[in-house]
Amino acid sequence: MVSVAFKMLNYNPKTNIRSLETLHTLCKTMAILPPVNLCNVEDYKSKYLYGSAAACLLLFSYVYTIYGKIVYVQKTMSVTGFVIDVGSDLTLIVANLISIVGINLMNGNIVSIFLTNMKKIDIDFQYIPSESKHPNIRFVMEMVLIHIYMIIFFTYNLYTWMSTLGMHIYKFFFLKDFQSYYIIVLAMLLRNYAYAIKYRMEVLNGILTRGEWSQTNNICANYSGSASAKIKTKQQWTLKKITKQFTNLTNLIDLYNKIFGWQFVSLYIVIVFNLLLPINLALIYGSGEKDIDGFKYGSELVIVCIMRASLPIITALAIFSACNHATDEIKLTSVISYNLIQELGEVPNDLNYKQELQELALLATNKCPSFSAAGFFAVNYSALFGLVGSITSYLIVLIQFNK
């Protein structure tokens, strides 16, 4: 999953579809995406049986976990600890089921259109990146590290609860780790799609910035705001072609929002509950004054809580940062266009360029879609800061309630 994700950045029409298919293997296995070739219009009947089976498996794991908590630990846990714990499980299962029902079963055809349109954009670009190895290595390292971290966390979590509660109780809870892993995979899928749009927008902004859109135009604006890598273009670009591709890329965001809008809402709630849960547990039981099923915890529980709290933090940063960076890259198009207008002269040919650049700048200003959580809020750094504020407020209420 990891190394393939950023092979999407290579934009080579001959290999891009293979990279996409390899990337989606894990998501298909977990029923996040339909188990079909998403870049072709195919019969989607098989996805309903497969997706329904995966949804039933997730529901079974949820019911199994809740049963164990009600029977074995409810009587020894505080009210806030138990309510938030059950709420954490509920938000996880809802978010995971939304990924199956919303992305797989209901929006599978839209996902296919999304990827097919992305393929068409790649074919139109037809470029060879000169510095593709670095981002690939970076993404590989990012995903390798997060999987190593999760393995360490799951192992330590298993050891802590097995050595205290024992296997006869912990056997009801280990499936929650699978639910948490499911959320991480889902978050990385959303992150990868957002960055796929961003990097394609970088290519377009790079072509616009370097003045590669006309044989007669020798302007190459030294605009330092573009983060695009050096590119060898294989076709002659015009401002009309750039405007068309800009529209195609912004349309990708509209499709993205249709596919993942409600998923963002569910993930937001998951992040809140799964941050409050470990903080609340650490505050109540970390001191060793209270016990769970007769066992008093100390530093080992605090470590588990810190590691568990890091998972929703990673999820939030992965999603919100990717969407924010993609939105910023789209906004950059209007800035680059206005900078190029300032560089042009008053000769007739330049006046024509000015008019087309003005149209592109207005389009980039007026049609600058953002990543949206079903219309409730924009997915960017502002929403991330709002999330921090919400968690802080809820935490203050919990501390007062526990007192």
What is the number of domains present in the chain? 1
DSSP element (H, E) containing 69:
none
Range of the domain at 178: 2-402
> Beta partners for 127?
233
pTM passes above 0.85: no
In angstroms, the CA 16 to CA 11 distance is: 6
Q: Which two tokens stand for residue 123?
A: 């074919």
In which residue ranges of the chain is pLDDT below 70? 1-23, 36-47, 126-139, 214-235, 287-289, 291, 293-294, 346-350, 402-403
Residue 346 gets which letter from DSSP? S
First to last CA, the chain: 46
3-15 pLDDT per residue, tens: 333 343 444 433 3
Residue 378 gets which letter from DSSP? B
Among 11, 125, 29, residue whose Cα is nearest residue 20: 11
Q: Which two tokens stand for residue 2?
A: 């990891």
Among 180, 239, 169, residue whose Cα is nearest residue 204: 239
Predicted pLDDT of residue 371: 93
100-150 pLDDT per residue, tens: 888 888 887 888 888 888 888 888 776 544 434 445 566 677 778 888 988
Q: Taking the mean position of all CA atoms in its chain, how far away is CA 85?
A: 25
Length of the chain counted residue by residue: 403
Q: Give the residue carrying structure tokens 């976990």.
A: 65
Q: Give the residue carrying structure tokens 């670095």.
A: 134
